[in-house]
Structure 1
Amino acid sequence: MVSGCSNTVSTKNEKTSVDSKKLQIVTTFYPMYYFTKEVAGSSVNVELLIPNGAEPHDWEPTAKDMIKIQNADVFIYNSQYFELWTEKVLKSINDSNLKVVEAANGIKLMDALESEDEEEHGHSEHTSSKDPHVWLSPVLSQVEVNNIAKALEQADPKNKDQFQKNAEALNAKLADLDHLYKDTVDKAKKKEFVTQHAAFGYLAKQYGLTQIPIAGLSPDVEPTLGKLTELTELTKKKNTEVIYFEEMTSSKVAETLAKEIGAKTEVLNPLEGLTKKEQEKGLDYLDVMKNNLESLKLSILD
């Protein structure tokens, strides 16, 4: 697909179906789209590449998706450790005018094993050696917002003031979210929470919490029977009352563990995309992060 695509990809000069006066931006998955849309405002066109409801860990671009990237002015992704296909795709695109933005640039990424707390939880050899889930920290999200704003200012200098103003407004909301998490965790009686997927390492580290993941960085990797037995013993010992799962992948493993120890299951959304229900309710990144905090309260405030 990659080798054949460069011959079929149209150039920017052939763009006819979009408003060529506006900056054309392609973002990979929901948090990148949300941050960019908030910073950009109405002065640019922002497109989401990986549809909400799709599992971004497994997603691969089609030739049509590559054409969208080729025809964009700016391409924004989170990290080479999350969108694993970006390096290959960008090498195949012959467009020196495309501005490429790695939103997590400048953030010191945790090792995958470090983020999963214990070495024996490391099922991530097939995905990446670093944990890319930085957007789940309201503090690190502000770094991503600043990187996006800087790139937009360079690509469209005439709207620089607007981008800066929008970025400051979004970062103020993220700072409020950070304070909300801090205030809640300050009252925490417990510091641990059990997740289906090791996506919450940065969130945990930011607030002095510990995530105990059932699986590794990739949500579709199931633990071995031995690992599940070990987690059953651990969670019983810690009197765990809630096992968290995510709605975009199967909750079978979380439900099995919960049933085994007499716990209940609750949603903790890694924000890799909005569910259909969330979209219908008109929820955004900030809303989901607040919902996550409400869910976390069930573990840490009991």
Structure 2
Amino acid sequence: MRRALFLFLLTLAILVGGCAPPGSHLPAREGDEAKPLVVATIFPLADLARQIGGEKIQAVALLPAGASPHTFEPTPREMKMASEASLFLCVGAGLDVWGQRLLQATGAGVPAVVITDGLALLPVTGRHEHEGEEPEEEAGDPHVWLDPVLVRDVIAPRLAGEMSGLWPAWADYFQTNLQRLQAELTRLDEEFREQAAGPARVKFISFHAAWGYLARRYGWEEVASVLAYPGQEPSARWLKELTDLAKEKGVTTIIIEPQFNPQPAKLLAEEIGGRVVTLDPLGGEGLAGRDSYLALMRYNLTAMKEAVEF
């Protein structure tokens, strides 16, 4: 029933698309109408595609700034955008199931890159049986884009390779942009390593288990997460267990995210005498200091520095 409704809405979106105002969650620029359209489920992937594709492509993100990919449902507008894509980018591993369903529903044979395919995914941190069973579609932690080294060495080259295969006349251009991006990512990695070399080891409880790859890369410790699954509010019992765990492990930092209600995390921080630090895994167009992948990661680095100094 749900799939039938999805297909109906997609058909409707395509039929009425000509009457709707154009738009995306990344701004259109002059001449974009004639460029290949790269559609990504989340902003970081769209921005990476834009850094590599440069002036040759138009890159758009389906997920609006401030929304969570775990709970988002596409509207006819997003359905139409996906149907017009020359290349579709998604995360996979259960994070953006709606995006993969949307792509399948178009029936257009759009080339797609699922960035978690072929990667050895980390287990999800901080989930316990009493919080419910793990969703069947989730294969592990999908937040791979939050490791800048993994982006530099695997994800960005994969995107550049896919673009070069689709538009070989621009392959050299894409490779030049890729090398420039990789140099920036190397500098970003050095900034994170400088912070990680400090005397204090970063321990934290995350709001939801998004930071495992970043923690692994730089020797941080994601002790647990407030939410068992995004969209599922924590029980009083689980918050009590987290309070005891935080005191046992000496955790004073609780990470919240702009996409979720911070109240449970704030209550936990009060109980342990800790502090709340806002990290953002997604960023978005128009968000000051978080409107590119590199800016987003530096925003998170600055926030973690403040946590260490607490």
Superposition TM-score tier, normalisation by shorter sequence: 0.7 to 0.9
- Asked whether the equivalents of residues 188 and 300 of structure 1 are also in contact (C-alpha less than 8 Å), the reply is no
Q: Tell me the SS of whatever aligns to 1:139.
A: helix
1:297 to 268, 288, 305: 305
1:2 aligns with 2:13: no
Judged with a 3 Å threshold, the aligned counterparts in structure 2 of structure 1 residues 91 and 9 are, in CA distance, closer, same or farther, namely: same
1:288 aligns with 2:282: no
Judged with a 3 Å threshold, the aligned counterparts in structure 2 of structure 1 residues 232 and 19 are, in CA distance, closer, same or farther, namely: closer
- Asked whether the equivalents of residues 66 and 89 of structure 1 are also in contact (C-alpha less than 8 Å), the reply is yes
TM-superposition CA deviations, 1:86-128 (whole Å, max 9, x none): 33223222223x211112333211233xxx0575697672472
State the alpha-carbon separation in 2 of the partners of residues 145 and 90 from structure 1.
Answer: 21
> Deviation at 1:61?
1.6
Judged with a 3 Å threshold, the aligned counterparts in structure 2 of structure 1 residues 123 and 151 are, in CA distance, closer, same or farther, namely: farther
Pairs within 5 Å for 1:198-217: 198-216=209-227
Deviates more, 1:280-289 or 1:56-65: 280-289
Pairs within 5 Å for 1:103-118: 103-112=115-124, 116=125
Deviates more, 1:279-288 or 1:247-256: 279-288
1:131 is matched with 141
Q: Which residue type is aligned with residue 144 of structure 1?
A: I
> Deviation at 1:52?
1.1
1:144 is matched with 155
2:97 to 84, 89, 94: 84
Judged with a 3 Å threshold, the aligned counterparts in structure 2 of structure 1 residues 132 and 231 are, in CA distance, closer, same or farther, namely: same
Q: Which residue type is aligned with residue 197 of structure 2?
A: D
State the alpha-carbon separation in 2 of the partners of residues 288 and 21 from structure 1.
Answer: 29
> Deviation at 1:250?
1.0
> Deviation at 1:275?
8.3
Deviates more, 1:24-33 or 1:57-66: 57-66
> Deviation at 1:299?
4.1
Q: Which residue type is aligned with residue 117 of structure 2?
A: N
1:42 is matched with 55
State the alpha-carbon separation in 1 of the partners of residues 284 and 226 from structure 2.
Answer: 21
Q: Which residue type is aligned with residue 146 of structure 2?
A: L
Q: Tell me the SS of whatever aligns to 1:91.
A: helix
- Asked whether the equivalents of residues 10 and 105 of structure 2 are also in contact (C-alpha less than 8 Å), the reply is yes
Q: Tell me the SS of whatever aligns to 1:85.
A: helix
Judged with a 3 Å threshold, the aligned counterparts in structure 2 of structure 1 residues 189 and 7 are, in CA distance, closer, same or farther, namely: closer
1:164 aligns with 2:178: no
- Asked whether the equivalents of residues 2 and 63 of structure 1 are also in contact (C-alpha less than 8 Å), the reply is no
Q: Which residue type is aligned with residue 77 of structure 1?
A: C
State the alpha-carbon separation in 1 of the partners of residues 74 and 163 from structure 2.
Answer: 24
State the alpha-carbon separation in 1 of the partners of residues 42 and 129 from structure 2.
Answer: 30
2:83 is matched with 70
1:99 aligns with 2:118: no
State the alpha-carbon separation in 1 of the partners of residues 172 and 304 from structure 2.
Answer: 38
1:59 aligns with 2:72: yes
1:256 aligns with 2:256: no
Q: Tell me the SS of whatever aligns to 1:220.
A: coil
Judged with a 3 Å threshold, the aligned counterparts in structure 2 of structure 1 residues 2 and 282 are, in CA distance, closer, same or farther, namely: closer
Structure 2 unpaired stretches of 5+? 23-30
TM, length-normalised to structure 1: 0.85
1:32 aligns with 2:45: yes
State the alpha-carbon separation in 2 of the partners of residues 207 and 34 from structure 1.
Answer: 24
Q: Which residue type is aligned with residue 200 of structure 2?
A: K
Judged with a 3 Å threshold, the aligned counterparts in structure 2 of structure 1 residues 192 and 280 are, in CA distance, closer, same or farther, namely: closer
State the alpha-carbon separation in 1 of the partners of residues 107 and 68 from structure 2.
Answer: 28
2:26 is matched with none
Q: Which residue type is aligned with residue 220 of structure 1?
A: G
> Deviation at 1:37?
0.7
TM, length-normalised to structure 2: 0.83
- Asked whether the equivalents of residues 109 and 132 of structure 1 are also in contact (C-alpha less than 8 Å), the reply is yes
Judged with a 3 Å threshold, the aligned counterparts in structure 2 of structure 1 residues 145 and 274 are, in CA distance, closer, same or farther, namely: same
Q: Tell me the SS of whatever aligns to 1:32.
A: helix
Structure 1 unpaired stretches of 5+? none
Q: Which residue type is aligned with residue 285 of structure 1?
A: Y
Question: How large is the RMSD of aligned CA atoms in angstroms?
Answer: 2.7
Deviates more, 1:80-89 or 1:30-39: 80-89
State the alpha-carbon separation in 2 of the partners of residues 217 and 292 from structure 1.
Answer: 22
- Asked whether the equivalents of residues 6 and 92 of structure 1 are also in contact (C-alpha less than 8 Å), the reply is yes
- Asked whether the equivalents of residues 46 and 61 of structure 2 are also in contact (C-alpha less than 8 Å), the reply is yes
